[in-house]
Chain A
Amino acid sequence: MSVSTTAIAQGVRTHWRTDRTPLLRLGLLLLATIATIVFFMTINTRGNWDFVLPFRARKVVAMAIVGIAISVSTVAFQTITENRILTPAIMGFDALYMLIQTMVVFFFGGHTLLTLDPKMQFGVEVAIMTVFSTALFWVLFLRSRYSLYLLVMIGIIFGALFRSLTNFAQRMIEPSDFAVLQDVGFASFNAIDESLLGVATVLVLASSLVLWRALPELDLLALGRERAISLGIDYQKSVAIVLMATIVLTSVSTALVGPVAFFGLLVANLAYLVVGSPWHRYTLPAAALLGVMALIGGQTVLEHVFGMNSTLSVIIEFVGGIAFIVLVLRRRPT
């Protein structure tokens, strides 16, 4: 009798010890994020509160939406692919979205219904994107079990193919002024398309909610396909749900700021480090907070300390590239 009581007491104690630290860290992250936002809102206002506050508030919302979309989708994607190197961006999903965007203009260019309403166009693009990338993912991940390095490689080359095709299609549409359409090669965080902000917010919240409801399944999927099935998960259904949420989130972030290859990789791996716990109820919020904080904080520092506006994504690529190489090199043999 006494033995079992001790066992249970011990169980409770360890339960508390393992549970509290991530929660505490999450709280600290939340505070840091709020501080960053307040800092961004109030720095260098020069008394123009009426103009600056609403203007910056919109920017904060836009960057928060993008930060959440990229980081949450990356964590979920890494869970269903069972590794911490691949991201939707590295798999070429954002490049695919850019291609679909161009193709929609290419095929429905003259169609008034679509060109009149950007929200409608956005909806069509997300729908096509979901179908295409689900199919791509299904063939690559579920039908054939390729090795991780091959998958990363395939993803990168698919990304290159999609980018080349986008470039090609853009030149086929209107070669004389393709330069206007062509992306400069890096995403821009301070010129977010605000006409889509409303739709984007709804989509990001809805997808995040879907993932939040799938928390136990996500924890299980991280154990690997066979263990997840053995523990009674409906594998295909769970993966499909998580994947679709991921794709919608990727579409939203790409529509708002363009492709960002390494931001998700960076934020997701930082989140794993910071919370030090595998449970998605901690990693998902931590990644979201870190994403928001990194974007807004980075933008604040660059804009107000160094007087640089559009270089955040370039810096992210630089740090992210190094992080990727470190992650690949440190990966233990399987």
Chain B
Amino acid sequence: MIEIDHVSKRYGDVTVVDDVSLTIPKGGMTTIIGPNGAGKSTLLSMMSRLIGMEAGRITVDGLDVTTTPSRDLATRLSILRQDNHLDARLTVRDLVAFGRYPYSRGRLTVEDRDKIEAAIDFMQLDPMRDRFIDELSGGQRQRAFVAMVLAQDTDYLLLDEPLNSLDMKHAVGMMRMLRQTADELGKTIVLVLHDINFASCYSDRIVAMADGKVLHNTSPDLLMTPETLASIYELDVSVHDIGGHRIGVFYR
């Protein structure tokens, strides 16, 4: 369980996250949505100790993220940011192996190797395991980074806009894999997404943010109504039931 307790973050005079309190239960997939500048990524970064907070407290399974040793947290929680640029020339396998660092500090055991192989298999990266990261397509690279996070084998997986730079086919593939990770491996997945329809089709819960505040924290079915979406995005959205999912249409 991730508990966010009256957390605020400011950059200069701008308050990006404004006194947010939120509980993300263990298991399943929670998606954070909201317009640009809502504070979604900042909140995710604070949950994963990448940036500090001005006020409040965040705990993961009772561990305060600002005081718990980084290495202990790394065995419970992993984060994947949207930037998947990398200057170092690493092979896919090398990159995925980094996921085992919190356990082995660079000396891989047999168990580490098994986890690495499993992560590579799970993300269907076997054919390109020895290719260099910078030679891969955007979608393949994104999968390699997810495989690294999977090899880290943490209960909580935080992903910041994992669908960025993916085309439709790869975006669907990525969401299916994340759903599978939550269902088959029992991981807790927290995502920041821009696309409300992906959020609606795959998530167990949706947290909607705007102007640094949490507006809604509910199930996709309850969130996907024209009134609620209008309150988040200040835009008219018509909602339709298609194939058992609620789809928002807002293009005209």
Interface residues of A (CB under 8 A from B): 4, 7-8, 11, 14, 17-18, 82-84, 215-216, 219-220, 222-227, 229-235, 276, 278, 332, 334
B50 near A232: Cβ-Cβ < 8 Å: no
Q: Which of B17-25, B72-80, B178-186 contacts A (4 or more CB under 8 A)?
A: B72-80
B71 near A232: Cβ-Cβ < 8 Å: yes
B94 near A18: Cβ-Cβ < 8 Å: yes
B106 near A219: Cβ-Cβ < 8 Å: yes
B94 near A232: Cβ-Cβ < 8 Å: no
> Assuming A18-B130, A231-B101, A232-B75, is B106 touching A223 (CB within 8 A)?
no
Chain A residue numbers with a CB within 8 Å of B78 are: 230-231
A232 near B85: Cβ-Cβ < 8 Å: no
B102 within 8 A of A: yes
Chain A residue numbers with a CB within 8 Å of B252 are: none
- Give the number of chain B interface residues (Cβ < 8 Å): 40
State the CA gap A4–B102 with chains docked (Å).
24
B241 within 8 A of A: no
Interface residues of B (CB under 8 A from A): 48-50, 69-75, 78-81, 83, 85-91, 93-94, 98-99, 101-102, 105-106, 113-114, 116-117, 121, 129-130, 134, 149, 152
Most chain B CB within 10 A, of A224, A227, A230, A276, is at A230
Chain B residue numbers with a CB within 8 Å of A235 are: 70
State the CA gap A223–B86 with chains docked (Å).
7
State the CA gap A222–B113 with chains docked (Å).
22
State the CA gap A245–B111 with chains docked (Å).
34
- New contact pairs (12) apart from A18-B94, A230-B74, A231-B101, CB-CB < 8 Å: A8-B113, A11-B113, A11-B116, A11-B117, A215-B106, A216-B101, A220-B98, A226-B83, A231-B98, A231-B99, A232-B71, A233-B101
Other-chain residue from B87, B101, B129 in contact with A220 (beta carbon distance below 8 A): B101
Q: How far is the CB of B187 from chain A (nearest CB, A)?
A: 15
Q: How far is the CB of B163 from chain A (nearest CB, A)?
A: 19
